[in-house]
Structure formats: C-alpha cells, structure tokens
Amino acid sequence: MDASVKSKLREIVGAANYSDAEEDRIVYAYDGVPMIENAPEAILFPETTEQIAEIVTLANDADFAVTPRGAGTGLSGGSIPSKNAVVLATNTWNKILEIDAENMTATVQTGVVTAQLMNEVEKIGLFYPPDPGSMNVCTIGGNVAENAGGLRGLKYGVTKNYVMGLEMVTATGETLRMGGKNVKDVAGYNLKEFAIGSEGTFGVFTEILLKLVPKPQKIITMTASFDKLVDAGKAVADIIAAHVIPCTMEFLDKTTIQSVEDYAKVGLPTGAEAMLLVEVDGFGSAVEDDAEKAMAALKKNGASEVIRARDAAEADRIKTARRSAFSALARQKPTTILEDATVPRSALPEMIEACQAAARKHDLFFGNFGHAGDGNLHPTCLIDERNADEVERAHKAFDEIYDKAIALGGTITGEHGVGLAKKKFLEQVVGPVGVKTMQAIKRAIDPNDVLNPGKMFSLAPRCESPLPRTQAGVEAFEERFPAN
C-alpha cells in the first residue's frame, strides 16, 4: 500500500487510532482459525460513522480492501484480513446506547461484548438469548456479521432472530439504516436480513437494535451419561418427540468429556461414551413438566446416570465446563481445527458415526461435541500443523465429513460462517446457481469489491484464497509452539 494512502488513513482516524507497526500487524493477521493468516497493511480504530465512510470511500478510490473486525474470535476466518487490506477494529465502540423496557429492545454500538449486554438486560428482568461459546469476549457486531448461534439456539433461535435494526456504512461509503422498533416491517426487500451473516462483505455495522424477551423464571439443568453414542442420539429425538423444546441440549463425546474434566474438574462422567447436557426453562409448572418428560426420555434410552443440578451454582459449573470444550481440547495438541457440520436433527446419530469413522480411517485425534438439539456438531481435530502429512489427513477427513453432512441434507456451517475456511465447500451446498446469485448481488452492492473481498466466495480475478501464511505469521507460530 502506497505511503500516501497510509498517511491519508492516519489523517482520517488520527495518529492515536492508526497503526502499521509490525507487532500489531501480526496480532491482527489471524482469528480463531488455524493455518490461515494474512497481515493487514494497517489497523484503524475509527471513532465515528463518518470516519468509516471516509475510509471506505478512500478504499474505492485507492483500490485497497477493508476487513471489519470485532473481537477476532471467529472460527471461519471471516476477520482474517483480505489481501491488501486495512483492518477496521470496532471493539472500542462498546457503549450500550439504550435499553427500552417498554418496547423490549436494546440499542448497542457494534463493539459491545455479548455477555456485557446479557448481564445488563438481566438486571431489569429481560433476556438476550443468543449465547455463542465466546460470549465473554465476542462482540455483537461480530455476532451479527456471522449470524452467531450458541447453546440456546433450539428454543430461542440465533442472532438473526434478535436483530430488529441495523445501521451500517455501505461499500460505497453511504450510511444505510435498516429496520427499527417495529415488531413487523415489510417495507421493501429484507436488506437487514440479508446483512445478517454477510461476513463483513455488505457493510460495516455501526449500531445495532436488538430484540429482548422476558427472562425465564425457572431453569432446570440435567446431565445424562451414556455407554453408547447412538443412545444419546435417540434420547435427543425422544425428547423432541415428547414436544419438549429444551433451551439447551448439548452433546459431548468421550474425548471431549475427558478433556473438559481434566481442564475444569467438575466431576464429569469420564468413563461414559457420551454425555448430554439438557436444560429446560420457562415459566410456571411447565418447566417441571418438561424436566420430567426429558428425564423420562433420557432414562428410557439407556442413560446410565441422570443427574439434576441441585442449584444454579452447580448448573453454572457444568455449563461453564461445556463452554470450555474448545479450550480444553485445544490443550491436547498445538493446532485445533474446530468444525461446524450441521444436519437435520434426525440425522444426528449417523453424522456422529461418520465423524468417528473419518477419524479412525485417517488415524486422527478427534473430539466431538455440539448442539444436539440443532443437529449442529463441532467435530474437532487436534493436530500439529508442522506435520504436513497429518494436516493432509485432517483435510481429507473433513472433506469426507462434509460430503456426508451434505448427503444427509445438512450444511457446511451451522453458526461459524463460510469465511475462508469453508469456501471450497460452498458450491457443494448451495449449488452453482446459489453461488452465482450471491456473486451477482455482491457485485451490485460492492462494485469495486472493497468490503472483505474473498470471503465466502471470490469474484475473479481478485482475492483468490486460501491466503498464504505470511512469514511473520510463521515466526509468531514458531515462537508460540517451539519445535520439540
């Protein structure tokens, strides 16, 4: 990038909010995805919508790319800088602007941390349900860009179900406000719905209006251990067949149980083949009814042990342990590939078996866990990326896992997004007409392909992927994981 462009950028945001220092460029070169990274030309911390508009306008004139970034916890590479890009770091825009109890909404700046919002609204008896695994760190803006899910998706839905309004800067540097506090609104195309999950390619979010719901009065948390994986799958189906919709229904396989227990020490059943964490919530006697039906379904399907948490503290310990699955597994080996295969709920047992088969076939160390009620699994492969053969085997295993997911009517990503990590699978799941339609829309709304180009799909000839690992990135990795 030209020095004159850099100096214009520095002028726009002010010297204190600009960096192209090598150490910052390394830090902002990656997100939660291993083995892909690319250093930005500069990192900008804009303070106003106008600054973002100026940056995007300059990007169109001077032919560079803009990659917006929240907390960088994404698991598909959505916030890894595109080629020749500046990073727009939004995590300092972290004010809750309004909580409107009467209309049950919250208006937040894009960089508000998800858990911070949850805690604030719970103080007045309201509830913001979407709870991605990284909720203590990730930002609402990032959640919207990726349409993040979480543990409560089955009953409460995902981020898109809670976004009532959005303000963003478009690819041509204009401000676009979509939606509002209206429960119903069908004025024109659903641009807001289209923006949700657009992975930074449609606009830079600045302000977000969220729907809230009344906080559930009562929560009952249960765990069940199984000697056979397939029994856990059957129990999930039976709970739903009893018309109980738990807010949470999490699955952990043996490897994950052992890793989590080793890490968190909460007394998980380390001898079990599988474990379910089931939580029902709501109001009045319905919660007890649901819990009874769920426990009956768990026992009927051969659960060797069904435990109901005595109190909120015990329930929290178990849930916190489940949330640590990613970190716990990541301790086993230097490189963690956490994937996102999702299938219709009825196909869950078959999908779990396919993951096990792929791990065996390619001699890989796999943990598996996920949101069983949603059919959303996180098969996690633990490797050492310096071992080229192991990397190749891992890629082969995931190719097979995604082939199977698609064959079962599933999808390549339930909640992490396509980004760079899933790009090669996109056409397989949405078809050539789907990709062509997405490309046509992207060209129409971002004619110079400046907003996070190369994510989800490429517009030839620019921005091919995968991005090569930069030399700086390799060195940083070697420092973190010195060769044995």
Closest to its own copies by CB, 361 vs 443, is 443
* CA 197 vs CA 202, 232, 339, 371, 452: distances in Å: 10, 31, 17, 19, 13
Is there binding between residue 120 and its own copies (CB under 8 A)? no
170 binds its own copies (CB under 8 A): yes
Specify the stretch interacting with its own copies by CB under 8 A; choose among 168-176, 225-233, 357-365, 378-386.
168-176
109 DSSP β-pair partners: 207
**338: burial class by Cβ within 10 Å (0-12, 13-18, 19+)?**
buried
C-alpha to C-alpha distances, 282 to 155, 288, 418, 428, nearest whole angstrom: 11, 9, 34, 39
Return the H-helix or E-strand segment holding 405: helix 388-407
What six digits make up the tokens of 353? Answer: 């078996």
In the complex, least distance from residue 219 CB atom to its own copies, rounded to whole angstroms: 14
* Binding-residue pattern over the window 123 to 142 for its own copies, x denoting contact by CB under 8 A: --x-----------------
| CB closer to its own copies out of 92 and 182 | 182
Q: Is residue 197 close enough to count as binding its own copies by CB under 8 A?
A: yes
Q: Note whether 214 binds its own copies by CB under 8 A.
A: yes
Least CB distance to its own copies at residue 184 (A)? 4
Q: Does 376 bind its own copies (CB under 8 A)?
A: yes
- Asked if residue 482 binds its own copies (CB under 8 A), the reply is no
Which of 100, 89, 87 minimizes the C-alpha distance to 59? 87
Q: Which is nearer to its own copies, 406 or 472 (CB)?
A: 406
Tell me if 1 contacts its own copies by CB under 8 A: no
Span of 224-232, 307-315, 331-339, 340-348 interacting with its own copies by CB under 8 A = 340-348
Any contact of residue 342 with its own copies (CB under 8 A)?
yes
What is the separation of C-alpha 70 from the centre of its chain, rounded to a whole number of angstroms?
12
What are the b/e assignments for 217-244, b being 16+ CB within 10 Å?
A: eebbbbbbbbeebbbbbbbbbbbbeeeb
Please identify which residue in 185, 292, 400, 403 interacts with its own copies, judged by CB under 8 A.
185
Q: What is the sign of the dihedral through the CA atoms of 52, 53, 54 and 58?
A: positive
> Nearest CA to 419 among 170, 67, 166?
67
Residue 183 touches its own copies, criterion: CB under 8 A: yes
- Nearest approach, Cβ of residue 338 and its own copies (Å): 15
**Near its own copies by CB under 8 A: residue from 54, 146, 231, 281:** 146
Q: Is the link from the previous residue into 344 a cis peptide, with omega within 30 of 0?
A: no
| Contact positions with its own copies (CB under 8 A) in 231-260 | 237, 240-241, 243, 245
Please identify which residue in 102, 311, 389, 479 interacts with its own copies, judged by CB under 8 A. 102
Cβ nearer to its own copies, comparing 54 with 146: 146
**Site mask, its own copies, residues 72-101, x = CB under 8 A?**
----------------------------xx
Q: Judged by CB under 8 A, does residue 374 bind its own copies?
A: yes
Q: Which is nearer to its own copies, 182 or 320 (CB)?
A: 182
177 interacts with its own copies by CB under 8 A: yes
Q: Determine if 114 is a binding residue for its own copies (CB under 8 A).
A: no
Q: Is 345 in the site for its own copies (CB under 8 A)?
A: yes
Starting at the earlier edge strand, list the strands of the sheet with 274-282.
Answer: 303-308, 218-226, 274-282, 248-253, 369-371, 376-377
Check binding of 15 to its own copies (CB under 8 A): no
Distance CA 450, CA 430 (A): 24
CA distances (Å), origin 95, targets 99, 102, 105, 360, 417:
11, 20, 15, 48, 26
CA angle in degrees (0–180, nearest 5) for 127-342-33: 85
Q: Least Å distance between CB 261 and its own copies?
A: 27
The whole-angstrom distance between residue 27's C-alpha and the CA centroid of its chain comes to: 20
Which residues 276-295 are close enough to bind its own copies by CB under 8 A? 282-290
Side by side, the strands of the sheet bearing 85-89 are 18-19, 42-44, 85-89, 65-69
**399 phi/psi in degrees, rounded to 5:** -55, -45
Whichever of 43 and 209 has its CB closer to its own copies, that residue is 209
Choose the binding region for its own copies from 46-54, 208-216, 358-366, 391-399 (rule: CB under 8 A): 208-216
Q: Which of residues 389-448 bind its own copies (CB under 8 A)?
A: 409-418, 422, 425-426, 429-431, 433-435, 437-438, 440-445
Q: Does 457 bind its own copies (CB under 8 A)?
A: yes
> In whole angstroms, how close is the CB of 207 to its own copies at the nearest point?
14
Residues in the chain: 484
3-class secondary-structure state, position 106: strand
Choice from 17, 49, 57, 103 touching its own copies (CB under 8 A): 103
